[in-house]
Amino acid sequence: AQTVTQSQPEMSVQEAETVTLSCTYDTSENNYYLFWYKQPPSRQMILVIRQEAYKQQNATENRFSVNFQKAAKSFSLKISDSQLGDTAMYFCAFMYPLNAGNMLTFGGGTRLMVKP
């Protein structure tokens, strides 16, 4: 079974600065997908970024980028130019599609506070 670990329960960052959230996972599979989801105080689940394990290039979405280290099974999220609206819980998630129905396995989350 796959496991996802987020070792930072809480983090804070000053507005306009950069912050990196850590995520590690454990799997014996080779082809899989990794995701970061954002959960603001409204408790919606919003997809931030997606990475295919077979792609060496790190995914980027505007101010959000990842550092995907497949050998180390690490998938960190970097938020640049942090904004107050980035305050939220962030969940890292793993998906192994073959024979596993595309269900997501989530980490325990990191609570990020952006301070003015």
Nearest to 79 by CA among 10, 22, 19: 19
Q: Is 102 one of the binding residues for another protein (CB under 8 A)?
A: yes
Minimum CB–partner distance for residue 26 and another protein (Å): 15
CB contact at 8 A, 36 and 92: yes
Helices and strands per DSSP (H, E), number in the chain: 0, 12
| Nearest approach, Cβ of residue 16 and another protein (Å) | 28
Q: For residues 73 and 28, is the Cβ–Cβ distance under 8 A?
A: no
CB 96 within 8 A of CB 27: yes
Out of 45, 60, 69, 115, which residue is the one contacting another protein (CB under 8 A)? 45
Residue of 30, 43, 56, 71 that binds another protein (CB under 8 A): 43
DSSP assignment of 46-83: EEEEEEETT--SPPEETTEEEEEETTTTEEEEEE-S--
- Contact residue for another protein among 21, 68, 88, 107 (CB under 8 A): 107
Among 44, 60, 69, 83, binds another protein (CB under 8 A): 44
Does 33 sit near another protein (CB under 8 A)? yes
- Using CB under 8 A as the binding rule, the residues of this chain from 47 to 86 that contact another protein are 47, 50, 52
The residue ranges that bind another protein (CB under 8 A) are 4, 31, 33, 37, 43-47, 50, 52, 91, 93, 95, 97-98, 101-109
